[in-house]
Structure 1
Amino acid sequence: MNDLVIMKNQQAVTSSLQVAETFEKEHRNVLATIGGLLKNKHTQHMFAKETYINEQNGQSYPIYYMNRDGFTLLAMGFTGTKALKFKLQYIEAFNEMEQQVKFQVPSTLPEALRLAADQAEKISVLQPKADYTDSMLANKGLETISMIAKNYGYSTREFNKLLHGLGIQYKQGKTWLLYAKYQDEGYTHVEPYEYTNSDGIKQVRNTMKWTQAGQKFLYDFLKSKGIMPLVEQPA
């Protein structure tokens, strides 16, 4: 469910690509529907147009990110029992994400001052060009792909697909692994983690995490493709 809604520009949003995948619709048809909605000036603030790279051919295509209101308008035309189930999942996902944001809002003056000081400190450290790389290189430990994806404004699923489309990784079972040309470079570390499945049975699955060298490799590689982390994207 975490992939349904992500944080982008301090707002809970979902993407037209994610909606198309979830509701089993052609992405071009979802884009066409959004295009119709955008003819009304009162809906234009609900959608933001960007591009994504298709994993099959490496080409860039349009994608829309939408807030809760935009999704609500778009999903109005989706009918049927299955569609209702997915709508409820989206509502829950939006609620969870917005609740997380709510917890970050200071409720007292000292908290507000602390938050302001923290933001000022971040701004002083994350200056042009050095912002993402400085914070990345300061972290000597392993990083999950979900955190890296958030830094780029992607959901985990979208980011994994992006890296697959760029020839960096492939999926074996439920675990993403690097292609042979990258696997011996020390970019990642595969480690097991325990989880409980839907039947309440504890199981173990491998997960791939990125080293500092791997994160630097991703940054340079994606930058060469014109893909930058959020903090380095133009406002």
Structure 2
Amino acid sequence: MEELIKVKTQGDTQVVSARELYKGLEIKKRFSAWVSDNFKDFIEDIDFKGVLISTPFNPKYPDGKQQELQDYAITIGMAKELCMMSHTELGKEYRKYFLELERKWNDPQEVVKRGYTILQNENARLKIENQAMKPKALFADSVAASHTTILIGELAKILRGNGINIGANRLFQWMRDQGYLISRKGTDYNMPTQRSMNLGLFKIKESTITHSNGSVSISKTTKVTGKGQQYFINKFMKINETA
């Protein structure tokens, strides 16, 4: 069947452009006057819906300056009635075309095919939503085996990026309160506890500092391992879920 007019699908409804139908029927009066005379017996948002289209000011230069025109997306049912109202041979031809479109649209095989497509799209949408709903902690899995260590302040930034409202100072305090870092004041303050080291959550980076008087001291910095990053992100996500 030769295509007389472009047909689009909106939801479970076939629609055509009122301007394209107006042009195809070779209506002599202005488009706005044709709409005013013929649309009054139809219901907006059920039979038709207003849309804006862009079209060139000069058809000879399609890539030139554009203008916006009022158009309408009309249902096939409304299009058939407009064809009859035209009382022309072209109207009869277009109506016959729309009747054939409806017949194919309502064919049981086509109905089943559309239903199957809708089901596939719905399953794909649900799959995407389910992926999005999984705890963001899952993204930390990739760092579990990483050899890259980070500072506790950097871990706080990662936690904030995962929706946990915590800063570096509060994270240090929480780790001391929970027994991951040494809380007693002294040279070991904020160093990992033996329990943390056994779990592989931290590494201690030692740096040699040479002072201006020639003396040398050792600086120790607590850094979070890849396993530790995963461990703490998962832990905070679980806390956040139950909060």
TM-score w.r.t. structure 2 length? 0.40
Q: Highest Rg: 1 or 2?
A: 2
TM-score w.r.t. structure 1 length? 0.41
